[in-house]
Amino acid sequence: MPTHKTQDLFDQRLEKEFGRHAPLADRMRPEKLEDFFGQTEIIGQGKLLRQAIENDEIFSIIFWGPPGSGKTTLARIIAKLTKSHFEQISAVTSGLADLRALVKQALERRKFQNLRTILFVDEIHRWNKAQQDSFLPYVENGTITLIGATTENPSFEVISPLLSRARVFVLERLGVPELSRIVKRALLDKERGLGKEKIKLEAKGIDVLLAGSNGDARTLLNALEIAVKATAKDAKGVKHIKTQTVEEALQHKALMFDKKGEEHYNVISAFIKSMRGSDPDASLYWLNRLVEAGEDPEFIARRMVVFASEDVGLADPNALAVAVNVFQAVKLIGYPECQINLAHGVVYLALTPKNNTAYMGLMNAKQDVKDTLNEPVSLHLRNAVTDLMKDLGYHKGYKYSHDYDKEEGKQEYLPKKLVGRKYFFPKK
């Protein structure tokens, strides 16, 4: 019967073997902040999260961002740099029993080793209210430091008490510069990457790889690894990766975007402007360009919801309802069938009349709001809910609009300093 030491030796050997054959994306996962590309608004020098990490004073966090933006990697780096025990679970496969066991272990760890436990919950939005409620007390008393990751808006998917005890950080899709650095590191790293092989990628193939990954580092590295494995060596031992191989590795033909990613935003701009200009044909063309290039359908639908209020506005109040319904349909149906829902909404928004006066009114009022944030509300507009308030003149002189005709019911609603200001100008 093997001894405990023998078992440890076999476990270490097995772990090393698994590590050697792990997917490239897993092998290349950064282990320190210096190797973590992107998200400088969150972990750049002098930023709040970076200072907390460097001071070893980490707090509960919710990372909200698209797939492949670095949520899991950043959680692992934080755990390592703050000398914390790291536990990772998925909300898809784990339940209350798993959580209770982890909490018990965390309590013992804190009691006997004075060691903090960071619990990383992937896809935390998949846990229902009762499940999220169950570990709230342990976040409150510091038994665990929570790092949750979600691709969904935490305002809607994470319970308010938990959200109030955590700091939400929004991660953005990685840009072309960050993706380029990730590819370069993977190709040069001889220990964990592909540096031991002689690899040459066509220039166009690199562009396709960067564009087709859609800001997702995992997709980028997976496609690169598949393309390398699918390419035979020439007589000199070099693997020449063709553009077609990259496209097949990405599972779709990626449309061309320039290396700086500018063309990506140019296409989005053309899409919006075509709808604004009431051209359904151009709108459908640019919609297809976005979809075929791998853009997230939900992102497109969100832009349509914004467009319905910003550009259509009062000309057709039903446009917002149509856009919101399209967004819900996209979430419900998913790709590729949701393209039909997108096309329905795009044609409607392109053909309907346009009126941006509500949006312009909002913009016109913004500066005054910034300049008068502490301007007091006039007494007649305040509710008098106590006798003291009545004595102070709250609500005095207010005219209940339903009791007067338009002319008799006139009164001032703006703060005194802004009397007479006009922000909304109806379209003639």
Across 244-260, average pLDDT = 65
Q: Are 137 and 211 in a shared domain?
A: no
Q: Are 47 and 110 in a shared domain?
A: yes
Across 265-286, average pLDDT = 93
Which of 249, 275, 296 is where one domain is finished?
249
How does pLDDT run across 190-221, given as a tens digit for each residue? 888 998 999 998 888 888 898 888 888 999 99
Would you say residue 308 lies in a domain? yes
Which of 351, 373, 405 is where one domain is finished?
351
The residue ranking higher by pLDDT, 240 or 374, is 240
How does pLDDT run across 360-402, given as a tens digit for each residue? 999 888 888 887 767 888 888 899 888 888 888 999 999 999 9
Would you say residue 162 lies in a domain? yes
The CATH number of whichever domain residue 102 belongs to comes to 3.40.50.300
Question: What pLDDT score does 63 carry?
Answer: 93
User: Is residue 253 over pLDDT 50?
Assistant: no
User: Is residue 262 over pLDDT 70?
Assistant: no
Give the three-state DSSP class for 239: strand
User: Is residue 271 over pLDDT 50?
Assistant: yes
Short-list 256, 252, 264, CA closest to 205: 256
Task: State percent of the chain over pLDDT 70.
Answer: 92
Structure tokens at 343: 């096309």
Q: Are 152 and 53 in a shared domain?
A: yes
Helix, strand, coil percent values for the chain (each to nearest 5): 55, 10, 35
Please list the residues that pair with 86 across neighbouring strands.
Answer: 118
The answer to whether 369 and 357 have CB atoms below 8 angstroms apart is no
Q: Are 298 and 182 in a shared domain?
A: no
How does residue 8 score in pLDDT terms, banded at 50, 70 and 90? low
pTM over 0.75: no
Would you say residue 396 lies in a domain? no
Structure tokens at 90: 């998925």
The CATH number of whichever domain residue 309 belongs to comes to 1.20.272.10
Cα(211)–Cα(263) distance, rounded to whole angstroms? 10
Q: Are 59 and 166 in a shared domain?
A: yes
- What average pLDDT does the structure give for the chain? 86
Q: Are 98 and 183 in a shared domain?
A: no
Q: Worst-scoring range by mean pLDDT, 22-26, 112-116, 259-263, 403-407?
A: 259-263
Question: What pLDDT score does 260 carry?
Answer: 40
User: Is residue 68 over pLDDT 60?
Assistant: yes
Number of independent structural domains in the chain: 3
Question: What pLDDT score does 12 carry?
Answer: 54
Would you say residue 107 lies in a domain? yes
Q: Are 154 and 185 in a shared domain?
A: no
Would you say residue 136 lies in a domain? yes
User: Is residue 313 over pLDDT 90?
Assistant: yes
Alpha-carbon Rg for the chain, nearest whole angstrom, is 28
Q: Are 50 and 161 in a shared domain?
A: yes
The CATH number of whichever domain residue 213 belongs to comes to 1.10.8.60
Q: Are 237 and 154 in a shared domain?
A: no
Range of the domain at 296: 262-351
Q: Are 164 and 189 in a shared domain?
A: no
Q: Are 165 and 78 in a shared domain?
A: yes
Would you say residue 295 lies in a domain? yes
CB atoms within 10 A of CB 122: 20
Q: Are 43 and 166 in a shared domain?
A: yes
Question: What pLDDT score does 20 carry?
Answer: 60
